[in-house]
Amino acid sequence: MAQEMPAVKVEGSEPRQTEPPKNATGQIYCSRPGCHNHISHFKTPSEWNKHMNKHGRPYRCTIPGCDQQFARASGMRRHVLEIHQVNSKEKWMCPYSDCDRSSGKGFSRKAQLTIHIHSLHPKQDCSESLHAEITQLQREVKEMNSRLNKMGMKLEQLRQQTGKDTRFTLSFLCGA
C-alpha cells in the first residue's frame, strides 16, 4: 500500500481569518483586494476556504529543492507522484512502439494515456490500434504472472518455515 504523504503548509504564509467575512445580507465573500473571482459569494465556509487556498497556495512540495506550491493537498500529492515519482504505481505506456512514451516515462494515469493516444495517434490504422491494445494486454498479463510467481515463492517460503501445507488455510482465509 502506498504511504500517505503529509500535506506541508508553507511557512510564512499569511494567517487566515478563522471566520469568513460576510456582507450586509449575510453572504460569505472573498475580501482579498484585487480578487476577480467570478463567484460573488460562497454558500459554505468550506467553499470559501477552498477559494482562499488559491490565493495563498499553502501546500508546498515535500521534495527538497522543489519550490512548487499548491492550493490543495491533493494537487501537491499528485505533483509529487507524477513529477518526482515518489511511491509511484505502475506506468501506463503508449501502445504504439514508434512513440517515445511506449517505454520509459509512460503515464501515471490511464486518463493521461487516453488523451495522449487521441491527440497524437488519432489516425492510426484500426488493425494497428488493435495490435497495440493486444500488446498492452500482454504486458499486463506478464506483470500479473510476475506477481503471481512472487506470491508463489512467498507461499513456498511460508511452507518451509512452518513445516505445514498452507494451501487449505490460505484458500479458506482468502476465500479462494
**The pLDDT of residue 11:** 46
Instruction: pLDDT band for 2, please (50, 70, 90 cuts).
Output: very low
Candidate from 52-56, 59-63, 94-98 with smallest mean pLDDT: 52-56
pLDDT at 10 over 60: no
Instruction: pLDDT band for 102, please (50, 70, 90 cuts).
Output: confident
Q: What is the mean pLDDT of the chain?
A: 74
**The pLDDT of residue 125:** 56
Q: So where are the chain's domains?
A: 1-89, 110-174
pLDDT at 171 over 70: no
Name the more confident of 2 and 120: 120
**The pLDDT of residue 1:** 37
pTM above 0.75, yes or no: no
**The pLDDT of residue 15:** 53
% of the chain residues with pLDDT over 70: 73
Instruction: pLDDT band for 84, please (50, 70, 90 cuts).
Output: confident
**The pLDDT of residue 170:** 55
The string of DSSP letters for the chain reads -PPPPPP-BPTTPPPPPSS--B-TTS-B----TT---S-S-BSSHHHHHHHHHHHH--EE-SSTT---EESSHHHHHHHHHHHS-TT--PPBPPS-TTSTTSSTT-BSSHHHHHHHHHHHSTT--HHHHHHHHHHHHHHHHHHHHHHHHHHHHHHHHHHHHHTS--HHHHHHHHT-
